[in-house]
Amino acid sequence: MFPANEDEFAHLHRAHGPDHARRRLLDIFVQDATDRPHEMQTWDVGLEQLTCPILLMAGDNDPVSPAAWLVAFAGRLSRGEICLLPRAGHFPHRSVPHLAGGVLLDFLLRAERENAP
């Protein structure tokens, strides 16, 4: 169960340390996503019809979007590109911004060149 309020979360943090709180929040997040797989089946309807370039960027330590999922997802896109960043989790733009920013800039510049008149 998720901490009911800020005081409860602070108690968890003090009693067990920041690593415990971080692990607990991640467990809750992953369990929530696992409990609602039907939502993941409805949001991606029509992916095959997309014709724009799409960058799928994730970290190699991402517990939410593992590499196998990215490969399967990219297989449904006509112009999908995968970038798996080292030493990053689900938010690579936060954990390795120096890598994620460069990859994103390169992707956008290539997309602009490919679509230039």
The answer to whether residues 34 and 50 belong to one domain is no
The answer to whether residues 52 and 102 belong to one domain is yes
| Owning domain of residue 52 | 46-114
Q: What string of pLDDT tens digits covers the 117 residues of the chain?
A: 555 667 776 776 677 776 776 777 777 767 766 665 555 556 667 788 888 899 999 999 988 878 888 888 888 899 999 999 999 998 899 999 999 999 999 999 999 998 877
64 close to 33: Cβ distance less than 8 angstroms: yes
In a domain, 1, yes or no: no
Q: Could you give the residue ranges of the DSSP H alpha helices within the chain? A: 6-16, 18-35, 37-42, 67-74, 92-95, 97-114
